[in-house]
Structure 1
Amino acid sequence: MSSATSTTSLPSGLDVLTTFPDVLFIPEITFGGLVWILVASSKVPLPILQGWVMFVSVFCFIMSTTLLCLYIFGVHRGSSSWIALDVICQETAALFYLSAAVLEAAFTYGASLLSVDPLGRTIYQENIAAVVFAFLATLMYVIHKICSLLRWKSS
């Protein structure tokens, strides 16, 4: 197919914020930012687990924000490779967030067995919120990935 035909399915300008699945950038960035804030504000007794969660949340936050800005500014016009890039980014983010959400849930469950003091209860609640938002971010990235794959297939 010609590049003019394949790039018409990617919106540009503020149309990005009104078309599906690209409107999912907003909840992806929001939920990812909340995971980042909640994990950063809690104690980190197992840095290897929560370090991965922090890496994923920061990486995906920056990646999604950058991709959204590039779409808004219309950088993708005239190139047919942006649809494939969108699929790769969404697939990577979905896989990363699934692993991060599972690790954060495992850490939170383990921490619940050990914590009995009131301060530990507050940190436990922050970690529960981080788990919920990590799974919500995973869901948003999976939906976006599926729709991006369908857009890629039809281009």
Structure 2
Amino acid sequence: MAPSAASGVSSLPSGFAVFITFPDLLFTFEFVFGGLVWILVSSSHVPIPLVQGWVMFASVFCFVATTVLAFLYVIGAHGNRNSWITLVFSYVATLLYVVHAVFSLIRWKSS
């Protein structure tokens, strides 16, 4: 039996195997939907540019962070250890989009 199988710890994929495992396959969906958000936000016209700027900042930040994380996983920089960086990125991305949703609802309610 392999050492990782004996200890019950699975090894993290690296290289292009990142794109065929389930949790890491979500990077592909983040690329696609991140690109769609950029296209939709940049082509829309809103009366208050600050709202559009915030959602554009959130989508650009998430797209760049996803690109960096995917690249790090592909080159195997994780060293076959679980990383808290992905968890922190997920919380920050959620916070950015929730803040945008709250302020959009406040603006919608006041109009």
TM-score with structure 2 setting the length: 0.75
Alignment of 1:48 onto 2:45: no
Which string of whole-angstrom CA distances, capped at 9 and with x for unpartnered residues, describes residues 31-78 of structure 1?
121111111111132122111100000000010011101111112216
1:73 aligns with 2:75: yes
Structure 1's consecutive aligned runs of 4 or more residues displaced over 3 angstroms after TM superposition are 103-107
- Mapped to 2, the partners of 1:30 and 1:51 lie a distance apart of 20
Query: How many Å separate the matches in 2 of 1:43 and 1:36?
Result: 13
Segments of 5+ residues of structure 2 without an aligned counterpart are none
Once the two structures are superposed, the pairs formed by residues 6-155 of structure 1 within 5 Å of their partners are 9-77=11-79, 80=81, 83-100=83-100, 102=101, 106=105
One-letter amino acid matched to 2:68:
T
Deviation at 1:13, TM superposition (A): 0.8
Offset at residue 99 of structure 1 (A) = 3.1
Cα RMSD for the two superposed structures: 2.8
SS in 2 for 1:21: helix
Count of residues in Structure 1 that have an aligned counterpart in Structure 2: 104
Taking the aligned partners of 2:77 and 2:91, their CA distance within structure 1 comes to 21
Deviation of 1:94 (Å): 2.3
Structure-2 separation of matches of 1:76 and 1:32: 24
Overall identity of the aligned pairs, in %: 46
> Could you tell me which amino acid in structure 1 is paired with residue 67 of structure 2?
T
Shift of 1:103: 5.5
Q: Deviations over 1:101-146 (max 9, x none)?
A: x268649x68xx8xxxxxxxxxxxxxxxxxxxxxxxxxxxxxxxxx
TM-score (normalizing by structure 1): 0.56
